[in-house]
Amino acid sequence: MKDLSNRRQFITGAAALGAAAMLPSAQAHNHGEEKHQGDHGHGHHKHHKHGTVAIPKLTHTVFFWLKNPESTEDRDALIAGLKTLKDIETVRGIHIGVPASTEKRDVVDNSYQVSELLMFDDVEGQNAYQVHPIHQKFVEECSHLWRKVTVFDSIEV
C-alpha cells in the first residue's frame, strides 16, 4: 500500500512540476517582465489577477522509442520534427525532453529516448492538433525513426 501511495505522490508531483516548467511566463509576469509562453510566441495563456496563469486543461504526453536508440542523428531528427508542433494554433504549451539522469527507482521508466508533453485547452483543441497539416507532416517525415510510441492523454479534474 505504501508503494501505491508513493507512486501517486510522485506522479502528482511530477505532473505539477512539468506543468510549472512549461509556463515560465507566470514567473516573468510576477516580476514585471512580459514574456510569452514557451518559445512559440503565440501568447495563448490566460492571466488571472495576482499574476497567476491558467494552466491548460488537457495534457498529451508521448514517449518515443527509436529504432536506432544509440543514434544521436535519429534522436536529433525526431526532436527537430517535434519542435515544429509548437506552430499548431491549439498547442498551448510544449516540452520536449530526453530521459533525465535521476535516481533509479522501480517506478521510473527511462527506457524511452525522447518525450513530448503538449498542453491544450480542451479535447477539441487536441482533436484539431491530430488532423492539423503540421502534425500530419511530422508523422509522415518522422515515423520511420521510432519503433514504439506510447501516449498518455489526461484532462484536469
Flag whether the pTM goes above 0.85.
no
User: Helix, strand, or coil here: 123?
Assistant: helix
pLDDT of residue 36: 39
Contact 69, 97 (CB under 8 A): no
How many other C-beta atoms are found inside a 10 Å radius of the C-beta of residue 23? 21
| 60 class by beta-carbon count within 10 Å (0-12 exposed, 13-18 middle, 19+ buried) | buried
What does the pLDDT average to over 101-115? 94
DSSP helix/strand/coil, 125: helix
Question: Rg of the Cα trace of the chain?
Answer: 17
Task: Report which of residues 71 and 42 the model is more confident about.
Answer: 71
Beta-carbon contacts of 7 under 8 Å, excluding residues fewer than 6 positions away, are 107
Distance (Å, whole) CA 59 – CA 7: 19
Nearest Cα neighbor of 37 from 54, 51, 25 is 25
The CA distance from 80 to 85, in Å, is: 10
- Sequence-distant (6+) residues with CB within 8 A of 29 are 35, 47, 51, 53
Hey, what's the cell of 62?
Answer: 508521448
Task: Give the amino acid at 49.
Answer: K
Percent of the chain with pLDDT strictly greater than 90: 64
Are the beta carbons of 95 and 21 closer than 8 angstroms?
yes
Cell triple for residue 54?
491558467
Q: List, for residues 59-87, the tens digit of each pLDDT value.
A: 999 999 999 999 999 999 999 999 999 99
- The 10s digit of each residue's pLDDT in 118-139 is 999 999 999 999 999 999 999 9
Q: How confident is the model at residue 54 (pLDDT cuts 50, 70, 90)?
A: confident
